[in-house]
Amino acid sequence: MSNQREQWGSKLGFILAAAGSAVGIGNIWKYPHMAGQNGGAAFTIVYLICILVVGLSIVIAELVIGRKTQLSPVGAFETIAPRSNWKWVGFLGVGSAFVILAFYGVVGGWILKYIVLSLSGGFETLTGNPTEAESIFGAFISSTWSPIIYQVIFMALCIYVIVNGVKNGIEKWSKIMMPLIIGLLVVLAIRGLTLPNGVEGLTFLFKPKFEDLTASSIVLALGHSFFTLSLGMGTMITYGSYLNPKQNLLNSALWVILLDTAIAMLAGVAIFTTVFAMNADPAGGPGLIFFILPSVFPQLIGGTIWGTLFFVLLFMAALTSAISILEVVTAYFIDQKGWSRKKATIQFGSVITIVGIFCSLSYGGGINITAFMGLPFFDFMDHLSSKYMLPIGGMLTAIFVLKKWGVDNFLSELRSGMDNSIISKELIVVLMGIAASVVGFIILNEVLDLAFGIKLIQ
Ligand code: PHE
C-alpha cells in the first residue's frame, strides 16, 4: 500500500467530482421518464423525500468512512472492522461497479452515436412522428457492431480519464464538464420555457397528481435515489478517501445533493417544456430522450444545434459518472492488491467493456442472450443493480455505522472539519435507523415479490 495517497486539489474540485458522479444518465434520462410515467410532481415529491432522508444519511456515511480510512470500500470496511465479514460489503460494491458500468457504458455509446447523428443532420428528415425516430433507435441498438464500436469508444475515454489519476484525471475533467453541463441545461430550459405552451411542461412536472402515484412508484423513487446519488457501492467512500480532515463533510454532502437534485429538475424542465410545446407524449417512457426528443428537436428553429447540445450535455454527464464507477474498481486493485493505476484501469476497464458487449448484444445483434431470467441481459444488469445491489449496499452501510463502528466514533470523524456541532448523536441514530429500516422494508418487499409473488405494499 502506498503511503502517499493522492488527494483532491481543492474543495471545489472534490465537490464537482462527487456531483459529477451523482449527475448522470440517472438525472437526465431516468428521472424525467420516471416522473413522466408516475404522476409528474407526485413522484417528484416522494423522490425528494427519499433523497433528503435516506440519500443524505448514506452520502454522509460513505464520505465519513472513506475519509477516516483513506481507503476504497474493501480496505475501508476491513480497517474499521478487522477480521470480520464487513469487508464483503466492500466486495459487493466492487461487484456493483462491474454490473453497472457494463450497461452504463452501452448507454454512453448510444449517446455518442446520437451526437454524431444529430450533427450530421440525421434528425432533420424526421417529420415529428416519434415512431420514425423509434425505428431509427430500434434499428441502431439491435444492430451488432455499431453500438459496440460506440461503447468501446466511450469506455476508452473513461479509461483515459482514470489512468490520469484523481487530480489530473477525475478532478480536472469534472471541473471542465460540470459547469458546461449546468450552463447547457440552463440554456435548454430557458429555450423550452420560451416556446409556446412550454409552461404546461412546468405544470406537469410541479403540480401533483396523487392518483397516478402507486406503491411501485414509491419503490421506484427510493431505488432511484440510490442510483442518482451513486450510493450503496462505495463510490462516495472512494471519493471520500482522497479527502483531508479539513473538509466539512456535511457541507459537501449537502452540495452534492443540491446539485444532483437541481440538475434533475432542470433536465425535467428542459425536456417537458419542449415535449409539451411540440405536443409529444410526456409519458413516453425510456424512449423519451432517444425517440421523443429527436423527433421534437427538428421542429424547432435551430433544431440541429439544440439537439446536438442536448446530447453533448448528456454525454458529459454520463462520462463523469462512469469514471466514478471505474475508479471504485481501480482503487480496489491499487489499495488491496498493490497494482499500478494504469494496469488496474486498463485491465478491468477492458473486462467491464467485454461484459458490456454482452449487454449490447442482448438487444439483438445475432447472439441470443435475450432471455436471461426472463429479461434481456442489459435489463437484468440494470434491475440487479438498482433494485437489489445498491439498496442492499446502502442499508448495510447504515447498519455498519450503527452496529459495528459505533455512532460516537462515526461522529468524531464527521465533526473534523466542521466548525459547529449541529449534528447530535441522536440525530445520526435516527437518520441511519430510518435509512436502514426503510430500505430494508423495500428490499424485503422486492424479494418476497420475486420469490413468492407476495407484495407487502400494493
Ligand atoms: N449517479 C449516476 C447517475 O445518476 C449513476 C451511478 C450509480 C454512478 C452508481 C456511480 C455509482 O447516472
Instruction: Please tell me which of 119-128, 133-142, 336-345, 380-389 the model is most confident about, judged by mean pLDDT.
Output: 336-345
Task: Give me the pLDDT at residue 372, please.
Answer: 65
Averaged over 183-212, what is the pLDDT?
Answer: 87
Residue nearest to atom 10 of ligand 1 (CA): 230
> pLDDT at position 370, please?
57
The pick from 324, 386, 390 for probing ligand 1's pocket by mutation, whose C-beta has the most ligand atoms within 8 angstroms, reads: 324
Q: Which of 271, 309, 272, 299 is nearest to 118 (CA)?
A: 309
User: Is ligand 1 within 6 A of the CB of residue 230?
Assistant: yes
The residue whose CA is least distant from atom 9 of ligand 1 is: 230
For residue range 370-392, list pLDDT tens digits in order: 556 778 889 899 889 988 999 99
Q: Tell me which of 227, 236, 397 to substitute to probe ligand 1's pocket, judged by most ligand atoms within 8 Å of the beta carbon.
A: 227
Is residue 21 in contact with ligand 1, taking CB distance under 6 Å? yes
Q: For all residues of the chain together, what is the average pLDDT? A: 90
Answer yes or no: is pLDDT of 408 > 70.
Answer: yes
Cα of 49 to ligand 1 centre, how many Å? 19
Output the CA torsion sign for 54, 57, 60, 63.
negative
Give the residue, 10 or 128, on which the prediction is more confident: 10
Residue range 351-356: mean pLDDT, rounded: 97
Residue to mutate, 174, 228, 231, 314, ligand 1, most ligand atoms under 8 Å from C-beta: 228
Could you identify the residue written with the cell 412508484?
Answer: 217
Position 2 pLDDT exceeds 50: no
- pLDDT above 70: residue 82: yes
Pick from 192, 170, 241: nearest CA to 20: 170
Q: Say yes or no: CB of residue 25 within 6 Å of ligand 1.
A: yes
Distance 21 CA to ligand 1 centre (A): 6
Residue 453: φ, ψ to 5°: 70, 20
Ligand 1 test: best mutation among 170, 230, 238, most atoms within 8 Å of CB?
230
Please answer whether residues 43 and 213 qualify as being in contact, where contact means their C-beta atoms are separated by less than 8 angstroms: yes
C-alpha cell at 401: 455505522
Torsion of CA 196, 200, 201, 202, to 10 degrees: 120
What CA–CA distance (Å, rounded) separates 26 from 164? 26
Mean pLDDT of 362-374: 68
Q: What is the pLDDT of residue 186?
A: 93
> What pLDDT, on a 0 to 100 scale, did the predictor assign at position 366?
60
- Does the CB atom of residue 218 touch ligand 1 within 6 A? no
The pLDDT value given to residue 1: 46
Question: Is the beta carbon of 51 within 6 A of some atom in ligand 1?
Answer: no
% of the chain beyond a pLDDT of 90: 60
Dist. CA 305 → ligand 1 center (Å): 27
| Closest by CA position to 297, among listed 306, 288, 285 | 306
- pLDDT value for 383: 86
Ligand 1 contacts CB of residue 98 (under 6 A): no
Range of weakest confidence among 20-34, 249-263, 364-378? 364-378
Return all residues near 118 (Cβ < 8 A) that are at least 6 apart: 294, 297, 304, 307, 308, 311
Under the banding of pLDDT at 50, 70 and 90, the label for residue 128 is low
- Rounded Cα distance between 454 and 456, Å, is 7
Least confident of 193-197, 226-230, 357-361: 193-197
**pTM value surpassing 0.75:** yes
Taking CA atoms only, the protein residue closest to ligand 1 atom 11 is: 230
Nearest to 90 by CA among 329, 406, 322: 329
Determine the distance from the C-alpha atom of residue 372 to the mean position of all C-alpha atoms in its chain, rounded to a whole number.
24
Q: What is the pLDDT of residues 255-309, one digit of tens each?
A: 999 999 999 999 999 988 988 888 888 877 777 888 778 887 887 788 888 889 9
Q: What is the three-class DSSP state of 99?
A: helix
CA distance 117 to 294: 10
Establish whether residue 108 lines the binding site of ligand 1, counting it when its CB lies within 6 angstroms of any ligand atom: no
What is the atom index within ligand 1 of the atom nearest the CA of 325? 10
pLDDT digits 0-9 by tens, 134-189: 888 888 988 889 999 999 999 999 999 999 999 999 999 999 999 999 999 999 89
Q: Which residues pair with 372 in a beta bridge?
A: 375
Q: What is the CA(156)–ligand 1 centre distance, in A?
A: 18
pLDDT at residue 116 is higher than 80? yes
Q: 26 alpha carbon to ligand 1 midpoint, in Å?
A: 7
The span from the CA of 297 to the CA of 299, in Å, is: 5
Ligand 1 lined by 100 (C-beta under 6 Å): yes
For residue 29, give the ligand 1 atom closest to its CA: 12
Contacts of 91 (CB under 8 A, 6+ apart): 73, 74
Instruction: Output the residue whose Cα is nearest ligand 1's atom 8.
Output: 230
